Each structure stands twice: as structure tokens, then as C-alpha cells.
Amino acid sequence: MIVVSDTSPLLSLTLVGQLDLLRQLFGSIVIPEAVRDELIVGGAAYGDGDKVINQAWIIVRAVANPIVLKLLQRELDRGEAEALALAIELKADLILLDEFKARRLADDLSLPHTGVIDLLGEAKRLQYLTVIKPTLDALINHAHFHVSQKLYHRTLQSAGELDDAHPA
């Protein structure tokens, strides 16, 4: 299975100590050079960038098609554009994205995608996590991950964790 990731899922899960969920779920992740660069710069602000890029199961690849990349950069930042371009080139089975605009473009390009919230549910289903609420709360409180009350409630409800379903 080929899985490409944008910066946000990697950095968010790193900030809450759950990066290894991606290895457990997918074995390996492919990231474009721009995502690597964003992780170095963005991760340095938190002291966690090296934790991500030094993982043997995270593979960095260059985007080969500059035309597709330029078109995507009209709508997205460099990391998101390169992640989508790389997913197209590699015929990825899945792309990890959290930003709405990037997810919308992935839909337009018929690229299967998912985000961190759905990954938590899948990790629980596969028993890599016993509960998702502490990780979800940490994403909100420590990684400054935006989750609406409606999505928070729906996520915990679908995970069977509705008791005390409000952010910590």
C-alpha cells in the first residue's frame, strides 16, 4: 500500500506522542521534499522535526512533474501541492491530509484521502489504541488541532467513548 502524507498529520501526531500509529497502520509513509522541509522548520519550533524525518519508515521522494506541481500551487501551499502531486505520480492508495482545501482538491482528483481524526478511529478499531479521547484532547490542547464540537462529539460517539465528550 502506498501512502503519501502532508505535513499536518505527521507533525500533529508527533506533538501528541502518537507518530508510531502511522507505522502501525501503514508500515511506511512517503513524503515529498517540501513536507520534509516543513517538518524541519515547523518541527524545530516544537523541537520535534527530527523525530519525524529520522524515522526509517518515512521515505522522502522528489516530485517529478513540475507542471502538475505548478498547477496545484495555485491553490495550495508547497507541502500540500507536492503531497498531492506525489500521490498522483505514485498512484498512491491513500493520501493523509487535514486541510479542507487540500481535501477538496483530492476529491476533485479522485485521490482517496483521510485525516488524523479518521486515523484515530482506525487505530482504535485495529486495537492500536484502546481509547481515542486522550489523544483527541491532546491534539486540541497541545497540537492546536482545530476540531469543531460537532466533529468532536461525532468522533467520540462513533468510537463508543461518548461519556464526558467535551474537550479537556
Q: Domains (ranges, CATH) in the chain? A: 3-115 (3.40.50.1010), 117-158 (no CATH)
12-42 per-position pLDDT tens digit: 998 899 999 999 999 999 999 999 998 888 6
- The pLDDT of residue 44 is 61
- The pLDDT of residue 4 is 98
Which grid cell sits at 160? 463508543
- The pLDDT of residue 54 is 81
The answer to whether the CB of 8 falls within 8 A of the CB of 34 is no
- The pLDDT of residue 113 is 97
Q: Residue 4 pairs with which residues in a beta bridge?
A: 30, 95
In this structure, is the dihedral angle defined by the CA atoms of residues 149, 45, 134 and 164, taken in order, positive or negative? negative
- The pLDDT of residue 163 is 62
- The pLDDT of residue 43 is 64
pLDDT above 70 as % of the chain: 90
- The pLDDT of residue 162 is 81
Mean pLDDT over each residue of the chain, to the nearest integer: 90
The answer to whether the CB of 119 falls within 8 A of the CB of 135 is no
Residue 45 reports pLDDT greater than 80: no
Which residues, 6+ apart, have CB-to-CB distance to 114 below 8 Å?
Answer: 94, 96, 97, 122
Q: How many CA atoms lie within 13 A of 154 on its CB side?
A: 7
Question: In which band, very low, low, confident or very high, does the pLDDT at 116 lie, cut at 50, 70 and 90?
Answer: very high
Q: Where are the beta strands (DSSP E) in 80-168?
A: 94-96, 113-114
52-80 per-position pLDDT tens digit: 778 899 999 999 999 999 999 999 999 99
pTM of the model: 0.90
Residue 165 reports pLDDT greater than 50: no
Which grid cell sits at 78? 508547497
